[in-house]
Amino acid sequence: MKKFFLTSALSLVLLLIISGCNNDETPTKENGEKNETVFTAIDKEKALEMIKVLEENLVEFEKQTNSSIAAGEVETGDNEAFVQKVNEMSGDIVLKPFLEKFPKSLISNRGDLKVTFSPLSSDDCTFGNCNYDSIVAPTLQVNDKEWETYKSVEFDITELILTDVKISYPNKQDTESTTISFVKDVSGDLYFSFNPIVNSINFNLKEWDQEFTSIKSKVPESEVDEEEDEFKQEVEELLSKFPKLQ
Q: For the residues 43-59, what does the mean pLDDT come to?
A: 97
Q: What is the pLDDT of residue 36?
A: 53
pTM of full prediction above 0.75: yes
Q: What is the pLDDT of residue 5?
A: 34
Q: What is the pLDDT of residue 64?
A: 97
* CA nearest neighbour of 91 among 52, 61, 125: 61
* CA nearest neighbour of 95 among 84, 76, 108: 108
**What is the domain partition of the chain in residue ranges?**
38-239
Q: What is the pLDDT of residue 104?
A: 84
Tens of pLDDT, residue by residue over 112-163, are 788 999 999 998 877 777 899 999 999 999 999 999 999 998 999 999 999 9
Q: Is the pLDDT of residue 30 over 70?
A: no
Q: For the residues 30-48, what does the mean pLDDT come to?
A: 76
Q: Is the pLDDT of residue 44 over 70?
A: yes
Q: Are the C-beta atoms of residues 202 and 194 closer than 8 Å to each other?
A: yes
Q: For the residues 70-77, what does the mean pLDDT come to?
A: 93
Q: For the residues 180-194, what does the mean pLDDT come to?
A: 97
Tens of pLDDT, residue by residue over 199-223, are 999 999 999 999 999 999 999 999 9
The contacts of residue 138 (CB under 8 Å, 6+ apart) are: 58, 116, 117, 118, 167, 168, 169, 196, 197
